[in-house]
């Protein structure tokens, strides 16, 4: 089968399509024929061993992904496709089922076939979503819902989403609005129409205005791109407000401090605790028109270097997808 592989850490140019053996499903696994797969920020960070985040984070990254080189040669952590075969112990899926999901640190999704455990982050694809749309929505949704649940949003809560036009950001805007919150979206002006259509009622162009300086306060500041800090956002939070990061090791050090003193808190950058249930919830939202996949660009598998460059530019809107089959 064809797959996108790499043998050493580096820029997008280390990626290449290559013929590799097709995987065989274990007794508790599905063999999925992949129709489309996302190129997301986990793929970028793992491919470069987080070199752009400094030597300490890069060392930690290598301990996770492989010290001398990548432990998993085939990249990609989000996919959609069709179940080709199932292992003897699989009960919930059958050949022909159309599925989507996240392989997480097992990677392997940028390939014509991938094996996934039945109990992993996999679910039936929304019937009204294309394979390309379904391939790009799971990871951002699971990250956003895991973060936002910590704040226990109520109808009327005020939520600011920083990086509202990205994969996690577009999910965050829609989930906050679905929960009855009033949403302020921070992104570029060119993306205002998009985030407004997703449910944002207030819009801030970060190239023209620093929201931390305008005097407004929110119940939640959701940093969907990992660019802020609790210190910079503290004065923009209401009493008992939450700063919800999706990145940034320094925030972890401040969590116990804010829990012991003060009335403003930091959440943990954590994904869904019940991913299978949440993928079923996502499917329901998409099928009932309450959640809209946002796909920026679709590339062919042999254009993976260009796709990775575009994601690395941090200019993408929503999700970037590879068409596999």
Q: Is the pLDDT of residue 88 over 60?
A: yes
User: Tens digit of pLDDT for each residue in 117-173?
Assistant: 999 999 999 999 999 999 999 999 999 999 999 999 999 999 999 999 999 999 999
Mean predicted lDDT score pLDDT of the chain: 93
CA contacts within 13 A on the Cβ side of 243? 27
* Local confidence band at 60 (pLDDT 50, 70, 90 cut-offs): confident
**What's the pLDDT at 15?**
97
**What's the pLDDT at 266?**
86
Q: Is the pLDDT of residue 45 over 70?
A: yes
What percent of the chain has a predicted confidence (pLDDT) above 70?
95
**What's the pLDDT at 107?**
95
**What's the pLDDT at 263?**
80
Range name among 33-37, 48-52, 99-103, 245-249 with the lowest pLDDT average: 245-249
Burial class (CB in 10 A: 0-12, 13-18, 19+), 143: buried
**What's the pLDDT at 268?**
80
Name the more confident of 66 and 249. Answer: 66
Q: Is the pLDDT of residue 253 over 80?
A: no
**What's the pLDDT at 20?**
97
**What's the pLDDT at 257?**
62
**What's the pLDDT at 231?**
87
User: Tens digit of pLDDT for each residue in 185-235?
Assistant: 999 999 999 999 999 999 999 999 999 999 999 999 999 998 898 889 999
What are the angstrom distances between the C-alpha of 323 and each of 17, 75, 97, 191, 269? 13, 14, 19, 24, 30
Range name among 69-78, 94-103, 209-218, 268-277 with the lowest pLDDT average: 268-277
Output phi, psi for 15, to 5 deg.
-80, 145
User: Tens digit of pLDDT for each residue in 290-312?
Assistant: 999 999 999 999 999 999 999 99
* Local confidence band at 314 (pLDDT 50, 70, 90 cut-offs): confident
**What's the pLDDT at 55?**
86
112 neighbors 1 (Cβ within 8 angstroms): yes
Q: Is the pLDDT of residue 248 over 80?
A: no
6 neighbors 15 (Cβ within 8 angstroms): yes
| Alpha-carbon gap, residue 263 to 302, rounded angstroms | 51
For residues 313-323, average pLDDT: 94
The alpha carbons of the chain give a radius of gyration, in whole angstroms, of 20
| Alpha-carbon gap, residue 252 to 277, rounded angstroms | 27
β-bridge mates for residue 319, sequence order: 295
């Amino acid at each position: 089968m064809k797959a996108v592989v790499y043998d050493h850490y580096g820029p997008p140019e280390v990626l290449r399509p290559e013929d590799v053996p097709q995987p065989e499903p274990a007794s508790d696994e599905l063999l999925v024929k992949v129709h489309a797969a996302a190129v997301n920020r986990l793929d970028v960070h793992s491919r470069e061993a987080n070199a752009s985040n400094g030597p300490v984070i890069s060392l930690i990254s290598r301990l996770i992904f492989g010290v001398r080189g990548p432990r998993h040669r085939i990249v990609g952590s989000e996919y959609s496709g069709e179940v080709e075969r199932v292992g003897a112990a699989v009960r919930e899926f059958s050949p022909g089922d159309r599925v989507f999901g996240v392989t997480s640190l097992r990677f392997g999704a940028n390939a014509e076939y991938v094996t996934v455990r039945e109990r992993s982050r996999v679910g039936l694809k929304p019937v009204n979503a294309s394979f390309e749309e379904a391939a790009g929505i799971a990871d951002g949704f699971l990250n956003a819902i895991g973060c936002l649940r910590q704040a226990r949003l109520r109808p009327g809560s005020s939520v600011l989403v920083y990086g509202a036009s990205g994969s996690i950001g577009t999910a965050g805007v829609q989930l906050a609005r679905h929960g009855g919150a009033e949403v302020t979206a921070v992104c570029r002006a060119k993306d205002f129409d998009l985030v407004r259509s997703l449910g944002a009622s207030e819009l801030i162009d970060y190239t023209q205005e620093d929201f931390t300086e305008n005097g407004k306060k929110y119940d939640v500041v959701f940093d969907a791109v990992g660019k802020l800090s609790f210190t910079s956002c503290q004065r923009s939070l209401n009493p008992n407000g939450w700063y919800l990061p999706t990145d940034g090791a320094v925030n972890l050090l401040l969590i116990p401090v804010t829990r012991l003193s003060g009335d403003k808190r930091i959440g943990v950058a954590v994904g869904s605790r019940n991913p299978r249930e949440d993928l079923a919830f996502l499917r329901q939202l998409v099928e009932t028109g309450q959640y809209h996949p946002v796909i920026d660009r679709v590339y062919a598998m042999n254009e993976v270097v260009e796709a990775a460059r575009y994601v690395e530019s941090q200019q993408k809107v929503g999700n970037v997808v590879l068409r596999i089959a």
